[in-house]
Chains A and B, each alone.
Chain A
Amino acid sequence: MLGKIKAKSAHNDSLRMLMGKYGIGIVLLIMMVVIGIMEPAFATSNNFINVATQVAINGMISYGMCLAITTGGIDLAVGAQLALTSCVLGVTITNSGMNVWVSCFIALLVATLFGLLNGVLIAKFNMFPFVVTLSTQLIIRGLSQVISGGKAISLTSDVFKNIYSGKFLGMPIPIVILIIITIIMYLLLHWTKFGRYVFAVGGNVNAAIASGVSEFWTKVGVYTVSGFLAGVAAIIFTAKTGSAQSNIGIGYETDAVAACVLGGTSFAGGIATIPGVLMGIFIIGFIYNGMNLIGVSSYYQSIVKGCVIIGAVLLDMVMNKRNR
């Protein structure tokens, strides 16, 4: 009898926790309904497909950023990683005439290696992630200028451009990539040992070390994954614009951080959910898309964006507090 009641209340608690965790979803829904009423063109399948395709780039970066923030760090190098990967693609495909897939592989490898470098610098020498990635982004952007000569390299290969404009099972490929990466990231963070280590290192690093978690490998892993995902984002980006240049991706880390924070990722470390971040990514996408469709003047858009982020995070915190 007692056991039954206990089980029931535990069930209620977990349901409430779920509500608290994904309360941001309600914000997203309200936003979609409001924009949909104000501008009917918003609620069309075409527009939703557009937005989902558009957010794929920020999505990749945000997942990496989410891992970094969860370990109590940050990855400011992602914007520069976009530029470097893009230039590697340009140089290998256009200048050296390599096979598209080989050069995508090389580009991803380069991005992953620089992620690894970030991770080693941060974990091995215990430097602040902010400082490390702030410096490496300069190095990475500089390198991209060196290999491209500061010029735009045009990519005319249809096979490559198809990565953005092509369709798989009727869905644009960036959406397919977003879905696949979302599932992988979900499994990685919430189902694997590595994921639990990420939370442990971010939550209480001393306790984590005491219980045998390798702080070094966890952090190295996190920044490596972030580098890899920035590489994926760069491939989508470059296929979209059909041009490789070293001046792209400036300021892209801010949208990624915003998506993470909206998705309930705590800057104190140790708290994050992938579905939350996914919703954050879509909120950022809908803010841009919705305001443009309604016709909010661009001069006010960044103000609205800032207010929505603060408002959503506040709402999330209030809901979480009540649920605790």
Chain B
Amino acid sequence: MIIMMKKVLAIALAMTMTFGLVACGNSKTEPATPAETTTEETTTEEATTEETTTEETTAEEATQQAAAGADVNGDGKVIVGYISKNLTDPFHAPINEYAEKTLNQMKSDGTIDDWTGILDGETDPNKQIDRADECITKGCDAVIILPAESEASDPAVTKLADAGINVIVVNSKTVSTDERAIAYCGSNDVEAGKMLGEWVVKNVPDGGKYIHCTGILGNSAQIDRGQGIAEVMSAHPEFELVGEPDTQWSGDKAANATTDAIAQYGDELVAVICDNDDMSSAAQRAANDAGRSDIVCVGVDGNQNPLQMVKDGDLGATVLQDGVGQVAAGIDVITALINGEEFDSAPVIPFVLVTKDNVDEYLN
């Protein structure tokens, strides 16, 4: 009997846990403190804007609506959200650091009322969508997002746009960025690929055999950079592509591919072009260790380790992707929204070729 009761009690507890959460939220909002009413208002307004925004899907219309003021949910406060890609990647650390510093500054000088802090996307689209929910709950008016995946992170962008929030996509696009976000601040990866090719052509005037170490296949940066490299190299028949190892952004794999290629082609191998510079630095190190420091290795990103190698003279050059410049452009869009100014909805942040001459500017 007692055991029965215990079981009934336990199951009742379990049920109230799940149901109660849904139900008690409603009752809790009734004793309306001022702060709570505003959030209640926002939620109802979200529901209405959800219907209206589906009609105005084009970017221009969204921009016009945004120009009316940065406070889209009408709660009298401008709150900015920031959904990072992750907190661990060396490429993203300075981006997050810059955003944190700048947004804190904007908060303290009163340009914005509040911001969410750096929300951790954990390179996981699932987590990024959850963070988008939280931005909506917090009543954000503008959200900067650095998508983890072009396809899978897209629901985060559409969710925010559905709630009437101004979404600014930074660094890489999601599939509906062009239609739903008010701005995309990134760089043109085809450009980066061309710079890689041109660097090799310039440094090996006689031409020869080269390999191309790819990023994870299907990734937009991999496709675009590969396209840029191919465009330049196909115009130079003195160069011959002898391999495109699937090195998946990994320095370790690129180093192995390089030693394999040296063993196979010997002196005929003149260059290793890599989709990122974790790979090009590892490839250069492998070549140097094999006594082939004449092989030209080059890649994209501008991470600290390759930059250090450029400074030390171990690596000829690296192509820096200006991540900080990208997020700075994103924050500029928010400032323009607040001031009611016009803004560029697709600023292109140029890549920088870093050699021994200018490496000190970028090395921390």
Question: Which residues on B sit within 8 Å (CB–CB) of A296?
Answer: 117
Interfacial chain B residues near A95, Cβ < 8 Å:
none
CA distance A47 to B22 in the complex (A): 9
Residue of B nearest to A191 (CB): B7
Closest to A53 in B: B133
Given contacts A186-B14, A274-B14, contact A52 B21 (CB under 8 A): yes
What 1/0 mask marks residues of chain A from 46 to 62 whose CB sits below 8 Å from any chain B CB? Answer: 11111110100100000
Q: Which of B149-157, B227-235, B340-348 makes up part of the contact surface?
A: B149-157
Residues of B within 8 A of A42 (CB): 137
A48 touching B116 in the complex, CB below 8 Å, given contacts A40-B33, A242-B151, A293-B138: no
Known A241-B126, A282-B21; judge A14-B117 contact (CB<8 A). no
Say yes or no: B33 contacts A275, CB within 8 Å: no
* Chain A 172-189 interface mask (CB, 8 Å, partner B; 1/0): 000100110011001000
Contact pick for A44, options B11, B13, B40, B87, CB 8 Å: B40
Count of B residues near A, CB < 8 Å? 58
State A297–B24 Cα separation when bound (angstroms).
29
**Distance A298 CA – B99 CA, assembled complex (angstroms):** 13
The SS class assigned to the B binding surface is helix
Is the CB of A103 closer than 8 A to any CB of chain B?
A: no
Q: Which residue of chain B is the closest to A274 with respect to CB atoms?
A: B14
Q: When the two chains form their complex, are residues B17 and A279 in contact, meaning their CB atoms are under 8 A apart?
A: yes
User: Which chain A positions have C-beta within 8 A of B129?
Assistant: 240-241
Q: Is the CB of A245 within 8 A of B149?
A: yes
Contact yes or no, A179 B18, CB < 8 A: yes
User: How far, in whole Å, are A25 and B7 apart by their CA atoms in the complex?
Assistant: 16
How many A residues touch the partner, as a band? 35 or more
Contacts of A47 in B (CB 8 A): 25, 137
B25 touches A298 (CB 8 A): no
Q: Is B139 an interface residue (CB 8 A)?
A: yes
Q: Which residues of A contact B139 (CB under 8 A)?
A: 41
Complex formed: what's the CA distance from A11 to B4 in Å? 12
Q: In the complex the two chains form, is A44's CB within 8 Å of B119's CB?
A: no
Q: Does B43 have its Cβ within 8 Å of any Cβ on chain A?
A: yes
- Report the minimum CB–CB distance from A197 to chain B (whole Å): 18
A45: chain B residues at CB < 8 Å are 22, 25-26, 28-29
A237 interfacial by beta-carbon distance below 8 Å: yes
Residue numbers of A with Cβ under 8 A of B are 10-11, 14, 17-18, 21-22, 25, 36, 39-52, 54, 57, 149-152, 154, 171, 175, 178-179, 182-183, 186, 190-191, 237, 240-243, 245, 248, 250, 273-275, 278-279, 282, 288-289, 292-293, 295-299, 301
Instruction: List residues of chain B with CB under 8 Å of any chain A CB.
Output: 2-3, 5-7, 9-11, 13-15, 17-19, 21-22, 24-26, 28-29, 33, 35-36, 39-40, 43, 84, 87, 114-120, 124-126, 129-131, 133-134, 137-139, 149-155, 175, 216-218
Chain A to chain B: the 5 pairs with minimum beta-carbon distance, closest first: A45-B25, A243-B152, A241-B152, A298-B120, A275-B14
